[in-house]
Amino acid sequence: MFAVVRIRGKARKEIEDTLRMLRLEKVNNCVILPEKPDFKGMLQKVKDFVTWGEIEKEVLVELLKKRLRAKGDKRVDEKMLKELTNFESFESFASALLEEKVK
């Protein structure tokens, strides 16, 4: 899995479209993407506007704890995570994400 962060603002239309497809509409937005050829090609196209790298499990867990949101922009804690999913903790959810068992 890659963590991708947008680091630059305005771009020409073609690049903006690709950034929008990657859900990176604003500077400092971050997304987690699987390591698939399609995404790698898109990252190469927008390489001057983003930075990316492989994400470690511990970093993913922290990112999920701080930034995971449910519908209505509600912050997700471990209790809500258990209610909404079959996962007992952020650690198990992060492991499943890294193994691409969930999307």
Give the C-alpha separation, 45 to 64, whole Å: 27
Residue range 2-54 in CATH 1.25.40.20 = no
pTM of the prediction? 0.82
> What is the per-residue pLDDT across 22-50, written as a single tens digit (0 to 9) for each?
999 999 999 999 999 999 999 999 999 99
Report which residue type is found at 4. V
Report which residue type is found at 96. A
Domain ranges (residues) in the chain = 2-54, 57-98
Concatenating the DSSP letter of every residue in 4-23 gives: EEE------HHHHHHHHHTT
> What is the per-residue pLDDT across 49-68, written as a single tens digit (0 to 9) for each?
999 999 999 999 999 999 99
